[in-house]
Each structure stands twice: as structure tokens, then as C-alpha cells.
Amino acid sequence: MSTLDDRPASSAVGEAQSANPGGVAALMQSPVAIRLGAILLLTVGLTLLQLSGRAFWQGFVINLGIFMILVLSLNLASGFTGVFSLGHIGFMALGAYGSAILTLPLAKKADYLPNLPAWLAAVHFDFYLGPFPLGFLLATLLAAGLVAGVALLVGLVLMRLSGHFVAVATLGFLVIVRVILFNADNFTRGSRTFSNVTPYTGLWWVWCWAILTLYVVWRLKYSAYGRAMFAQREDSLAAQAIGLAILPPRLLAFVVSAFFTAVAGSLYAHFITSFSPTVFYFDLTFRVITMLIVGGLGSVSGSVLGTVAIMALAEALRRLEDVTLLYGMSQITLAVILIVIIIYRPNGLLGRREIVLARLFRKGGEPSP
């Protein structure tokens, strides 16, 4: 499950080590080997899950992957730059609706959305390349690309604000998206449920995108762009004084994060197959923010940990609820646990630190050089 990487900065050291002959011990310290090992482990786990045919757990793991993408990208936008966005679920909604409209087969589209403009009614991304649903991939990329464009325009305005103001303004963006989705009947069926979406999303789709998101966010964190994001978050005056512009790193984080949020929206749409604008609102917003804050703002592995912790806890409590018949207790307990975490670990479980797989192994083995 855990797919945490070594930081790219130290990979040169790691590769030098792995070049030394030394068998398993040396291999255990090579970040590349550990990365491949983690991906292999995940692949084996997913294959087993796929073969087991347990629909419930498959659904749970798909949801886990989707939330991981959401939390990681929100971390990029909010944790790295300190610009707190409450509007990301709006990007998710746009991604979900955009890709769902694109993948709808022609016959269904004519039936279901009769008032679409001609150019949109004629496109259908439901083609396959052999067994591979290429149309779904293209529709996701197209929708996410469009959303990234929207994010660029919105970001050019909103990323100039900071503090509480940007939170309120992004919240405004969420409300505006919702109002538009409700009123653009011709495209979204308004407040009626949008169903008939082909269920493309499976374990592999979600986890390939999740790994890609993890990789991109991780690389960004230790790139020059990422350091600029953290610098202007720590002290905007000092960052400006050494010649860092405030807007470009914020905008980059916002746009990349909107792209992946839209991807998560597309995956979600093709997973639950029917939804309405009410799905993408405060409830989802606060769930993602909870996972982010529990994990730690600015920590990539914290996002992974926070998502897994909250999802597992919520599921365990829900089961307990079914046994004890105390309905509603799970939400209360979850809220109390959150309050306790915030009081005792105000920076989340990990704060800004990272769990580094290679270091975990090193502790068990010989001391690091």
C-alpha cells in the first residue's frame, strides 16, 4: 500500500550504493530498487484484490486511490504554497462533468442530453484500442486540460490574495461552479442526476493515476519550483527580497493541482456512474481537507498516511456502528478524534516531515554512511 519514495536529491548516493556489490543489504538501500519494490508490491496486492472478486473491498481501494489523488493535489495547492483553497472540489466537479459528457456514447447522448450544441453532440470518446478504453484516457486528459485552463484564469485573479481572503474567494469559486452546473441544463441536466456514465474506472486506472500524482507532487516538492513555493509560504517578504516572484509558483501549484483534481473527478464519475452537482460540495471539500490536515500540510507522505488513516478509521467505525446499532456515533467519534489530533499535533501526523522508505530500511540494517 505504501508507495513512499526516497527523496530524489539523495538518489545519486543511493545509486552509487546499489552499484557496490553487497547483495540484498545494498539493494535494500537503493531508492530505485525500493521504489520498484513498492510498485511491485502494490501491483501484486491489486492483482490479488482483482482476482479475489470482492466487490466491496475493490470499491474501497478505488475510493482510497481517488481520495489520495485529491489530497495530494490539494496538498500541492494549499500545503506547499500556504494559499488555502476551499474550491478544489469545484475543479473535481468540472472534471467529472466534462469527461462524463465526452465519454457518453452517441446514441445515449442524443437521448439523454438532447440540447447539446452540435459540435459537442457529435464527439464521443467511447472507442477502444483493442481491450484498452483509449477514449476514456483521452476524455480524462481533455477534461483535465480544460480544467487546468480554467484554473489558470481563476488563479491569475485569486492567487493574488492570501490568508483568509483566498479561502473565502476559493469558496466563492466552489459556489459559482455549483450554480453554473445547476443552471446549465443543456450540458449537465441541471439538478437532475447525471447517470448512464460507462463504468470505466477500475483499480488499475485509479492506482496508475495515483502513482503518477504522487510522483509529480514529490518531484515538484524538491524542484526549484517547489522550493520557491515553500519559500513564499514561509515568508513572502523575505522571498520577494531575494528576488522570488510570489505569483508564478502559486499559479503553477494551483494549475497542476487543478489538473489532477479534475482527473480524480473523471475517475470518480466513471466509478459511481451517476451523480448530481450536490455530490461535489462542502461535504466532500471538508473530507479532503480533513485528510490533508491530519496528514500534515506540505508533507507528501503525510497526505498518503492521512488518507489511509481517515478512510480506514471511518470504515472501521462504520462497521462498529452496525454492530452496536448506535447510528451517528461513527461521525461523532471521528470528529472527536480529529479535534484531539489537532490539539496535540497541530501540524498533522507528520507535519512537514516525510517518511522515506530507504531510511526506514537503513534503521533496521547497518547504519547509514
Residues lying near another protein in the complex (CB under 8 A): 157-158, 160-161, 165, 168-169, 171-173, 175-176, 178-180, 182-183, 235, 237, 282
In the complex with another protein, the residue whose CB is nearer, 328 or 367, is: 328
Give the integer Cα–Cα distance in Å for 13 and 15.
5
E-assigned strands of the chain?
Answer: none
CB 295 within 8 A of CB 306: yes
Cell numbers for 260, please give them.
Answer: 489532477
In the complex, least distance from residue 169 CB atom to another protein, rounded to whole angstroms:
5
In the complex with another protein, the residue whose CB is nearer, 172 or 351, is: 172
In the complex, least distance from residue 83 CB atom to another protein, rounded to whole angstroms:
13
Contacts of 318 (CB under 8 A, 6+ apart): 330
3 state DSSP class of 355: coil
In the complex, least distance from residue 179 CB atom to another protein, rounded to whole angstroms:
4
In the complex with another protein, the residue whose CB is nearer, 128 or 165, is: 165
**Cα first-last separation, the chain:** 28
Cell numbers for 58, please give them.
Answer: 475493490
Residue closest to 140 by CA, chosen among 178, 197, 218, 184:
197
In the complex with another protein, the residue whose CB is nearer, 128 or 282, is: 282
In the complex with another protein, the residue whose CB is nearer, 73 or 170, is: 170
In the complex with another protein, the residue whose CB is nearer, 127 or 286, is: 286
CB 14 within 8 A of CB 32: yes
Give Cα separations from 90 to 181, 185, 210, 270 (angstroms): 10, 17, 20, 17
In the complex, least distance from residue 54 CB atom to another protein, rounded to whole angstroms:
35
Q: CB count, 10 Å around CB of 178?
A: 18
In the complex, least distance from residue 178 CB atom to another protein, rounded to whole angstroms:
8
In the complex, least distance from residue 194 CB atom to another protein, rounded to whole angstroms:
18
